[in-house]
Structure 1
């Protein structure tokens, strides 16, 4: 991500990356290169240490997925997350000489991934993932409701823990826009229903103008 090297678009603090992952837990897990290159879309959840730092991403895949063998051979992989994003049109601006752009929030993580087929690790991972996805839902579902079907499911699962080696995050949210242009872009995005992106833009702009 080229913009990850531009300090204007850096996360303000670790909380921005955590918020992105909480809002968009579905990611690409990528092991590039070689004849067994592997690319798996999957939900990931965060692991936070005692100091509140993001230290790992956890998830699970089907045991038959060839990606498992690749991770056992080479545990270095990448998790790619795309959050809210939208085309930014010059048609919303008084100054129509400006170029179009794209605003977005995204993160790339370099991981060292450990695979486990231990029954306790799998049970912990599946239970935690279900609880995080079901939280706040009316009549929320819980894993024990599967009954004996759970055992058959668990036998086909590999639990993953990706220790984070490096994080590159980009929050390109209009930090380089003049206040008048920024307000017009916000209005254009709101009219297009891009409310999640607008929320991010307003949060970063509040810090910029405080």
Structure 2
């Protein structure tokens, strides 16, 4: 991802927030057979306060990626959407796309069977906890044999990134009044309404105002 000083996201707490809020990630590897990409839920490692993440792949994706043997790239995509030049007013402009993305690169550590099981358990809890009647991994009708059989078909990993590229392109290069107009359009009812993206823009805009104050 090409970096641009105007759009660089360097605050670790904000990067962690983006990762936590957008756990469905793309995992890519460069292998002897070419580029490989897979899609899995990846979480921040709750044992660390840095950008270490944990996740799993299903077999044989571990072999396809050569997991643990070389570098992987994990991409987290935050809210994104189309920005019309008509929202900029009567000025020369072209369409663009606003987005937030985080790229983590490094060689992953392969987890033990017990560690992998703990990550799978945490993944289930992470998403089931949003439901009024959560179905935990170890609850009936699941039993230990069923869980262990499914876990054996996965390979867990931990990645402490050696390279981080994070970008937040949210119209920061536009005047404040234009940003407010774009936020209003995204919060509207048009075909490109996108409240989640509007919320990200509002967060970034408020942070800039606070920094200038």
TM-score by length of 1: 0.88
User: In 2, distance between residues paired with 1:165 and 1:139?
Assistant: 39
Of residues 71, 87, 91, the one that matches 1:76 is 71
Note closer, same or farther for the CA distance 1:32–1:17 as it changes in structure 2 (3 Å cut): same
Contact 2:12 2:50 in 1 (8 A): yes
Deviation at 1:188, TM superposition (A): 1.6
Provide the alpha-carbon RMSD of the alignment.
1.9
Does residue 122 in structure 1 map to residue 116 in structure 2? yes
Of residues 127, 135, 144, the one that matches 1:133 is 127
Deviation at 1:172, TM superposition (A): 0.7
Does residue 172 in structure 1 map to residue 169 in structure 2? yes
Q: What whole-Å deviation, never above 9, does each CA across 1:145-200 have from its counterpart, x for those lacking one?
A: 22132122112111111121111000011111112211221122112331111111
Aligned to 2:60: 64
Note closer, same or farther for the CA distance 1:130–1:21 as it changes in structure 2 (3 Å cut): same
Q: What whole-Å deviation, never above 9, does each CA across 1:69-114 have from its counterpart, x for those lacking one?
A: 6124x33110011111111101223224212111100011112112
Deviation at 1:49, TM superposition (A): 5.5
Note closer, same or farther for the CA distance 1:37–1:100 as it changes in structure 2 (3 Å cut): closer
Aligned to 1:157: 154
Contact 1:38 1:67 in 2 (8 A): no
Contact 1:104 1:171 in 2 (8 A): yes
Deviation at 1:141, TM superposition (A): 1.5
Deviation at 1:13, TM superposition (A): 1.5
1:29-48 equivalence runs, <5 A: 29-35=27-33, 37-47=35-45
User: In 2, distance between residues paired with 1:13 and 1:63?
Assistant: 35
TM-score by length of 2: 0.87
Flag as ranges the 4+ runs of structure 1 deviating above 3 A. Answer: 66-69
User: In 2, distance between residues paired with 1:35 and 1:154?
Assistant: 27
The alignment covers a number of residue pairs equal to 204
Note closer, same or farther for the CA distance 1:197–1:149 as it changes in structure 2 (3 Å cut): same
Aligned to 1:21: 19
Aligned to 2:204: 204
User: In 2, distance between residues paired with 1:197 and 1:76?
Assistant: 31
Unaligned runs of 5+ in 2: none
